[in-house]
Amino acid sequence: MREIRYETIVREVAEMCKAANYELGEDVITAFRKALRAERSETARDVLDQLVRNAELAAELRMPTCQDTGVAVFFAELGADCRVVGGRLQDAICEGVRKGYGEGLLRASMVGHPLKRGNTGDNTPAIIHLELVEGDRLTLHMSAKGGGSENMSALRMLKPADGWEGVKGFVLDTVRKAGPNACPPLVVGIGIGGNFETCAILAKRSLFRPIGERHADPEIAALENELLEEINRLGIGPQGLGGDTTALDVRIEMHPCHIAALPVAVNLNCHASRHRTVVL
Amino acid sequence: MGVVHIRTPLDEETVLSLKAGDRVLLSGTVYAARDAAHKRMSEMIEKGEPLPLPLQGQVIYYVGPSPAAPGHVIGAAGPTTSGRMDKYTPALLALGLKGMIGKGYRDEEVVKAIARHKAVYFAATGGAGALLASRIRKNETIAFEDLGPEAIRKLEVEEFPLIVINDAYGNDYYRQIADSAD
């Protein structure tokens, strides 16, 4: 039984929080540059150029690319042959968030009560999804999830008869309604199937895929490409100011579901698509 | 595309000269305020209490910055989504507020109030937190310090790059773009 120390988790989580906020992923920067080359709209190219320069400046100054340093969302894969010693895994993650957001000068963006709205002061609690897996590693996936994109995300319980056309229609409606608000160009995560809560988790989980990586199943990969094309034909463009680049990527995860159900969740991510993974 | 230099406070002549889609570089004082501060101000207005910031001719920037590093004026400071402040905005416009900076669309009531009171709503680039911070010269917390990132701040900005979304004539740049994309 391999042991992973509480302090190790705290330290690694703190570093992930900072890294996710100071440096955009290479896949994101590559996607910006690719979009810049293909964009026909001058305004859109100007916005994309600002985003590239912003990323360079933030990385240079070790400051967040965006002031909304997000809710700290974790998917923790705990191997059956390892255990956390010195404290609870959830506590270690929260302490790591407190440490990273504090010393990293990231913003405290959590309120303790959804109606009374008092800021918790340290960006905790983190939101943690725990999975038990094979092996003796602890893998932590962290997403710094901003409020703007999250607020324009949506879930609907479709009817089986609605089919793929119904799913597409709902996704396009969601992106259309979001317009400029979720900071396009977007990364669109889609969960289809499961139950009311699981399609949402699937959609969130899908946001960790690198931009450009298609689903292993070629049928689903084809659906992803189809949707990406149709979303970009909407012409919403970067920051909703028009253009060919409304989404950088679409990823779909599916799951078995009830004979009466077709749940669909659309979790939008902004252009920053901030996430990190560490294996302990 | 031409760029217009404008200064705060915004006088009527300046406001009326701006049209949806104009690119501007704004300099002068803007007041940072977002969700929690707007809720408090709305309650103060209802009770007839004086507000902790001037409104006549002024500009509010919807921003909750990240903490400033030592030696820096401010942390990352890009715009938050303006629509969440829609509920509180007509009352502020009626009291003389002339400009708002944020990102994302405003609802129909706000677009009409902006035209009725002759004001203007600008968009800054969402997510460009470091770039926009580099145009902020001064940052002073002036009210509601207990709100942390949501406190009201007095900011001095220099050539802040903005796009006019809603002008004093009822136009909406996002709507214009959407219509031409169809």
**Cβ–Cβ gap B105/A68 under 8 Å:** no
On whether any CB of chain B is under 8 Å from the CB of A241, the answer is yes
- Span B30-56, pLDDT tens digits: 999 999 999 999 999 999 999 999 999
**Cβ–Cβ gap B127/A69 under 8 Å:** no
Q: Considering all CA atoms of chain B, what is the largest pairwise distance in Å, rounded to the nearest integer?
A: 49
Instruction: Kindly identify which residue of chain B lies nearest to residue A49, measuring between CA atoms.
Output: B128
In the predicted structure, residue B1 carries a pLDDT above the cut 90: no
In the predicted structure, residue B182 carries a pLDDT above the cut 80: no
The number of distinct structural domains making up chain B is 1
Handedness of CA B123, B125, B130, B132 (dihedral sign): negative
Q: CB-CB: which of A54, A109, A239 is closest to B103? A: A239
What value does the mean pLDDT take over residues A243-271?
98
- Span B52-78, pLDDT tens digits: 999 999 999 999 999 999 999 999 999
- Span A11-62, pLDDT tens digits: 999 999 999 999 999 999 999 999 999 999 999 999 999 999 999 999 999 9
The size of the A-B interface in CB pairs under 8 A is 142
In the predicted structure, residue A221 carries a pLDDT above the cut 90: yes
What pLDDT sits at residue B64?
98
Residue type (1 letter), A78: L
What value does the mean pLDDT take over residues B159-172?
98
CB-based contact A271:B127 (threshold 8 Å): yes
Handedness of CA A17, A18, A22, A27 (dihedral sign): negative
- CATH of residue B156's domain is 3.20.130.10
CA A218 vs. chain centroid, Å, equals 23
**Cβ–Cβ gap B104/A57 under 8 Å:** no
In the predicted structure, residue B120 carries a pLDDT above the cut 90: yes
Instruction: Kindly identify which residue of chain B lies nearest to residue A47, measuring between CA atoms.
Output: B125
**Cβ–Cβ gap A272/B150 under 8 Å:** no
- Span A67-119, pLDDT tens digits: 999 999 999 999 999 999 999 999 999 999 999 999 999 999 999 999 999 99
| DSSP label of B153 | E
What pLDDT sits at residue B2?
84
User: Which residues does chain B have within 8 Å of residue A237's beta carbon, measured at their own beta carbons?
Assistant: 177
CB-based contact A144:A70 (threshold 8 Å): yes
Structure token pair of residue A21: 């906020």
Whole-model pTM? 0.97
Long-range contact set of residues A207-210: C-beta below 8 Å, sequence gap at least 24: A207/A143, A207/A251, A207/A267, A207/A269, A207/A273, A207/A275, A208/A75, A208/A141, A208/A143, A208/A275, A208/A277, A209/A249, A209/A251, A210/A25, A210/A27
User: Percent of chain B beyond pLDDT 70?
Assistant: 99
User: Which residues does chain B have within 8 Å of residue A179's beta carbon, measured at their own beta carbons?
Assistant: 104-105, 174, 178
User: Which residues does chain A have within 8 Å of residue B163's beta carbon, measured at their own beta carbons?
Assistant: 241
CB-based contact B129:A51 (threshold 8 Å): no
Q: What is the domain range of residue B127? A: 3-181
If phi > 0 it is left, if psi is from -120 to 50 it is alpha, else beta; for residue A275 that is: beta
**Cβ–Cβ gap B126/A270 under 8 Å:** yes
In the predicted structure, residue B115 carries a pLDDT above the cut 70: yes
Handedness of CA A60, A20, A66, B68 (dihedral sign): negative
pLDDT confidence bin for B144, thresholds 50/70/90: very high
- Span A173-214, pLDDT tens digits: 999 999 999 999 999 999 999 999 999 999 999 999 999 999
In the predicted structure, residue B121 carries a pLDDT above the cut 70: yes
Mean of all residue pLDDT scores within chain B: 97
In the predicted structure, residue B99 carries a pLDDT above the cut 70: yes
- Span A159-172, pLDDT tens digits: 999 999 999 999 99
- Asked if the bond preceding A114 is cis, omega within 30° of 0, the reply is no
Q: Report the distance separating Cα B98 and Cα B59, nearest Å.
A: 6
**Substitution target from B177, B179, B180 for chain A, most A beta carbons within 10 A:** B177
